[in-house]
Amino acid sequence: MKRTEKRIQSTLDAFNVIGETEEGIQRIAYTHNEKEAQVLFAYLCKKEGMDIKVDAVGNVIARREGRFRSAPAVAVGSHVDTVYTGGRFDGIAGVVAGLEVVRRLNEKNIRTDYPVEIIAFTSEESSRFGMSTIGSKAMTGKLSIEQAVKQKDKDGVSLAEAMKHYNFDIANVNEAIRSKTELHSFLELHIEQGPELEKQNKKIAIATGIAAPTRLCVNVKGMAAHSGTTSMANRKDALIAASQLVIMIEKFAQEESLHKTVATVGVFEVFPGAMNVVPGDVEFKVDIRGLNTASKHRIVERIKEEARAVESSRGVDIEVDIIGDEQPVLLDEGIRQVLLDACKDLGMDPMVFPSGAGHDAMNMQSVCPTGLIFVPSHNGISHNPEEFTAIEDIALGCDLLEKCVLELSMEREINNAKTSG
Ligand code: GLV
Ligand code: MN
Ligand code: MN
C-alpha cells in the first residue's frame, strides 16, 4: 500500500471506531456519535493548521487561508453521520478525502490563492428525522424553523429539540446561511452507492445531477378491536388497509421505471402493536426518488387516489401528508468540465451519470458551482455494513479532488469556472 493510501485508511479507521456496532456503523444525526466524529474531524484539521468554525446548526467548517484572504473559498466535504446500520464509507469517505487533499497541499507547501475549506456537514442522513441534508439545507437557506419543529424522530423528539440538546438554537438557523460571495465552488467526493462503476470496470464517475426525494407520511386510521371476538366481516384493520396501499406503491413505481423513478416504504409502524388486538392505526413513510419531477408527482397522485379507494372499500380513514418535495438538481457544467479535464490529465477514464442518492452537493449547487465525484462501491451495496470501497479507489478520487481544488483555487482558473455558474 502506498503511503497516502495508508494515511487514508488509518484516518477512515479512526472515524469508524466511533459508532461501531455489531450491526454496522451508527452515527445518527444529532447524537453523541455524530458529534464525537465532528470533534475528531476538527482536531485532525487543526493539526493541519486549519481554522475551525462550528456554525449555528453544527456544520463544522475547517479553513486553510489562501493568499487572498477575503476571496471566496473553494470548499470540499461531505458528512460524518450514518444510517442506523451504516457502512464505513458513505459520507466519511468524502470528509477524509478533503483531509487528504489538505495534507498533500501542506506537504507540498502549496499556498493557494483562494482559501480552501473542508466542510463536515451535520445530519445528511434522513434516518432519524425523515429529512435529509439538514446541515447543507441550513447553510443554503433551505431549512425553516417550522420544519425543524415539525420533523420528529421515532421517540417524538423534534429536530429543533435535538439541536437544542447540543446548544444549537433553531431560532438562529439563518446564521448558518452562506452567501454566494463566500464560496467559489464546492466539490464532494462520495462512494457511488450503486453498481455502475464496478460493472464497467471504471474507477471514477462525474455526476451530472442528483435525484431528489419526494416524501409522504401516510396515516391509516381503522379501529382497534379484540382479535378473538371481532368477526372478519366486522373489522377495520388498519394494517391490512396500509399493506394494500404499500403493494400498490411498488406497482406505481414499477410503472414509472422508464424514468428510473423509485419508491420505498422504509418506515412502517403498527399501533397498538399487540398480538391480541386488531391493528387500529398505522403510520408509514414513502420515499420517492427520481430525476423526473412529473414522474414523481404522478406516483404521489396515484397513491392519493388509491388511498381514497382503500378508504371506501375498507371503511378506514387515510391521510396522505407530503413532508418533503425536493427538486432534482443539475450540477454545474463548468465544474464538470474542470473535473473531466483533470481526469484527462491524470489518465483517468471517467463515467458520467446522475446520482440516485441524495447528497449535500444538491443544496450547495444553489449557492456556488458544484461538482460530485463518485468512486466505486463493491456490488453497489450501501446503507449496509457490507458497504465497501477499496482504499486505492478512494486514493484515486483524492488525486482528482486535489487536482481540481488546485485548479479552482488558483487565480487563473477562477474566471473560467465562474462564467458557467
Ligand atoms: C442519502 O444517503 C440518501 O438517503 O440519499
Ligand atoms: Mn452520503
Ligand atoms: Mn447515505
- Which triple of cell numbers denotes residue 367? 449557492
Distance 212 CA to ligand 1 centre (A): 9
pLDDT tens digits along 302-354: 999 999 999 999 999 999 999 999 999 999 999 999 999 999 999 999 999 99
Q: Estimate the crossing angle of helix 391-409 against helix 333-345, to 10 degrees.
A: 120
Q: How confident is the model at residue 412 (pLDDT cuts 50, 70, 90)?
A: low
Any ligand 1 atom below 6 A from CB of 140: no
Residues contacting 98, CB < 8 A, separation 6+ = 76, 77, 78, 118, 119, 189, 401
SS3 70: coil
Q: Contact, 2 vs 63, CB < 8 A?
A: no
Distance 219 CA to ligand 2 centre (A): 29
Any ligand 1 atom below 6 A from CB of 11: no
What is the atom index within ligand 1 of the atom nearest the CA of 193? 2
**222 phi, psi to nearest 5 deg:** -110, -135
CB count, 10 Å around CB of 319? 12
Q: Mind listing the domains of the chain with CATH numbers?
A: 3-211+328-415 (3.40.630.10), 212-325 (3.30.70.360)
Any ligand 1 atom below 6 A from CB of 126: yes
Cα angle 417-178-182, degrees, rounded to a multiple of 5? 45
Which ligand has an atom closest to residue 86 CA? 3
Distance 411 CA to ligand 2 centre (A): 31
Q: Which helix (H) or strand (E) holds 405?
A: helix 391-409
Residue 408 has pLDDT above 90, yes or no: yes
Residue 418 has pLDDT above 90, yes or no: no
For residues 344, 350, 353 and 358, what is the CA-based torsion angle, rounded to 10 degrees?
Answer: -100
Task: Give me the pLDDT at residue 69, please.
Answer: 82
Q: Contact, 355 vs 372, CB < 8 A?
A: yes
Which ligand has an atom closest to residue 355 CA? 1
Instruction: Output the pTM of the full model.
Output: 0.91
- Which triple of cell numbers denotes residue 170? 433553531
Mutate to test the pocket of ligand 1, among 81, 131, 132, 137 (most ligand atoms within 8 A of CB): 132
Q: Contact, 59 vs 102, CB < 8 A?
A: no
What distance, in Å, lies between the first and last C-alpha atoms of the chain? 39
Distance 382 CA to ligand 3 centre (A): 8
Q: How confident is the model at residue 414 (pLDDT cuts 50, 70, 90)?
A: very low
Distance 79 CA to ligand 3 centre (A): 9
Count of positions (residues) in the chain: 421
Residue 105 has pLDDT above 60, yes or no: yes
What is the atom index within ligand 1 of the atom nearest the CA of 83? 2
**323 phi, psi to nearest 5 deg:** -100, -5
